[in-house]
Chain A
């Protein structure tokens, strides 16, 4: 019987018999995607806004009231001039600003055929918190659309007869990078979590229980032990990636514009980096507890906080941006977004891919060396 396959079989048995591990493996990704998807981006209530309304007519006041009475917004202040916009945003007290034109009611009520300039409302979001900004602007747009329909129905005109045009501006982060932030973000997080944390824990467990000595005394090569330990997790993590992508596409409407094969290949590359980090951690920790803490502090926190998943890297101080550059998730995040949202391939993502590849080689080499030296 093949040595290696006997060993891998054992690993699968460990995983399948441990309900806690199974729950983490398969429950967590789904819960995380749903959590981040719904909790983080939706359900924003009473967001402070500012209104700049030079026209102050019946229509603009009615629309402002409708916005505020929706429950999503509360009026923080009325602005006197466009110059006050910038300080208001800077102070951080408002999340969004609505700017009416000077002749709002007039241009709104003119028959559309004669409408030289439509009634244009500017909605300005604070995109340093891109998720919130996008959501708020979507709410505002929906409420304005509502207002327009009601009004049209009321006056017996077709909804097209008058039009409010909204223009959206994002402050601080004009590309609105937060739109599809969380699916790639959760993906980087979960793959790191499952691959690195689980690997480090499973190796640390063998050390803690004393079975590692028995394996090391056996004719199994260290590389066989490492590969045997990681192979099952590679398979399971890949399954996880599929689940996350599916939830993203089916529930949250994430696009999939690029090559699925390329995405899968990049996932495997990223998993190799994560797995070797997990092995590296396990060589440094004596028991499962230590391995868990080291993974959580050393891998999870940076992945969540510094990779641009939750907080945009652009608004970070330079030292943190530099640290972000050595975090695998930073590069993988760009790759997933590139493939799924922009539909680009290796011609654009070669640099990120090379960086990940380099990290994989570096950490795998380092952990192999460490694994031999330490028991």
Chain B
């Protein structure tokens, strides 16, 4: 199996505080990789280093075959990103948002047009195409944001707590979109603090205080810790 992400002792400190402490792990091509941990455990910092938003204090990370700090441009072309906060522009229409991100990722005008039609159809948003994104319900916005992150056919998409603040039904639908994307061969790296979502992932890593304390499939983790569900695994881990 090919590794699409591999890190080697990746570390980031802020002053005396070590946010991410020498983490080494691999993500396989085409898998849904869950990146779990409590708030402040270092998930977001690790994710920011993998996407090139933050320089590491030491260590190394390869994403989609390129070194994140030596060849950031190559990496950026091949990754998609959906942030914790809503990542589209609310004062632009659905169509304008798609066009903007298509433009930023260097798609041709004809490609953008074709993809816009395709995407609107898939999300059943044709009627809302020329409405401001701000007027859409949160669940739709998030689905749209995810689809826009996939617009330039990235090899890997980073989703930073994509489902926070969404009702269970919409969350479920959102995960269907994630599965659909995974079927097309895209790798997905998802951070979340909803433990039941961890069950949907192929493999999960659990971060506690800046280190990865466990990394395996949900089934293996539950067996290893003798737990009924992921929530219990996490609580046992966090207690030390």
Contacts and interface: CB of A to CB of B under 8 A. Distances in A.
Nearest to B93: A13
Nearest to A13: B92
Nearest to B72: A219
A214 B83 contact: yes
A219 B53 contact: no
A147 to B, nearest CB: 63
B180 interface: no
B1 interface: no
A17 interface: yes
A17 B109 CA distance: 24
Interface stretch (B99-107, B184-192, B221-229): B99-107
A219 B81 contact: no
B103 A219 contact: no
B104 A375 contact: no
A36 interface: no
A5 interface: yes
Interface string B84-98: 111111111000100
Contact of A1 (B82, B86, B88, B107): B107
Contacts of A3: 103-106
Interface in A1-42: 1-3, 5-7, 9-10, 13-14, 17-18
A14 B91 CA distance: 7
A217 interface: yes
B14 to A, nearest CB: 13
Given A213-B83, A217-B76, A219-B76, A7 B100 contact: yes
Given A7-B104, A9-B100, A13-B92, A217 B52 contact: yes
Contacts of B77: 219
Interface in A131-158: none
B81 A217 contact: yes
A251 interface: no
A254 to B, nearest CB: 38
Cβ-closest 6 pairs across A and B: A6-B103, A210-B85, A217-B81, A214-B87, A1-B103, A219-B76
12 contacts: A1-B106, A1-B107, A3-B105, A9-B100, A9-B103, A14-B91, A209-B86, A209-B90, A216-B53, A217-B52, A218-B101, A220-B104
